[in-house]
Amino acid sequence: MAIYLTIPNLLSASRIVFLPLLFILLYNGYYYPFLVGYILLGSTDFFDGLIARRFKMVSHFGKELDSLADLFFYIASAFFLYRLQPEAVAANSIYLTIFFILLGLSFILSAILFRRPVMMHTVILRFNAVMVFFVIISSFFFDVTWFVRLVVSLYILGFLEEIAIFLIFGDVDPDSKSIIHLIRKV
């Protein structure tokens, strides 16, 4: 039990546990408390991995929990963006549809191939996670329509890479940097 109760795992779990609070704040119009909460919860995604690697607390359970927390947090971010700037979402609806189709395909494919859904942490997908974080924060200050299009387009590229990794290399470490990195290792 003690191996599960680590600071990185608690930080990952906090993204799931406190996510409903962000919905409540946004729904009730508490925009600045929402923004502060979003920044705090989003920051846990950086610190959980940093602490896990730095203090050798990396575990399979921690990676899975982090992926699950990321999935909930970043899908919720799409809803948050819709509440904050519905016009930016509407202008990118085709790109977002492709994104969600590829996300679903990635999960279905990995579940079929590996008997569990896998969420990769490639360089592109990690970069995009940071970009989503900044899209939501930026949406408080300016129109993010083009920023959303850029991020979603990069996510589409990232999920295509993830699907290619599954098909070519099978069940690899979810923290693999890229398909090019895997090709070089062969």
Query: Is the pLDDT score of 3 beyond 80?
Result: no
Are 28 and 109 found together in one domain? no
Quick: pLDDT tens for 109-156: 999 999 999 999 999 999 999 999 999 999 999 999 999 999 999 999
Q: Which amino acid is it at 103?
A: L
Are 150 and 112 found together in one domain? yes
Q: Which amino acid is it at 44?
A: T
Please say whether the beta carbons of 80 and 135 come within 8 A.
no
Q: Which domain holds residue 42?
A: 1-84
Quick: pLDDT tens for 14-50: 999 999 999 999 999 999 999 999 999 999 998 998 9
Are 160 and 93 found together in one domain? yes
Are 108 and 180 found together in one domain? yes
Are 181 and 112 found together in one domain? yes
Domain count, the chain: 2
Q: For residue 169, which of 158, 181, 154, 151 has the smallest C-alpha distance?
A: 181
| pTM of the full structure | 0.90
* Concatenated DSSP letters of the chain: -TTT--HHHHHHHHHHHSHHHHHHHHHTT-HHHHHHHHHHHHHHHHHHHHHHHHTT---HHHHHHHHHHHHHHHHHHHHHHHHH-HHHHHHTHHHHHHHHHHHHHHHHHHHHHHSS------HHHHHHHHHHHHHHHHTTTS--HHHHHHHHHHHHHHHHHHHHHHHHH-S--TT---HHHHHHH-
In the listed set 84, 117, 152, which residue is the last one of a domain according to the structure? 84
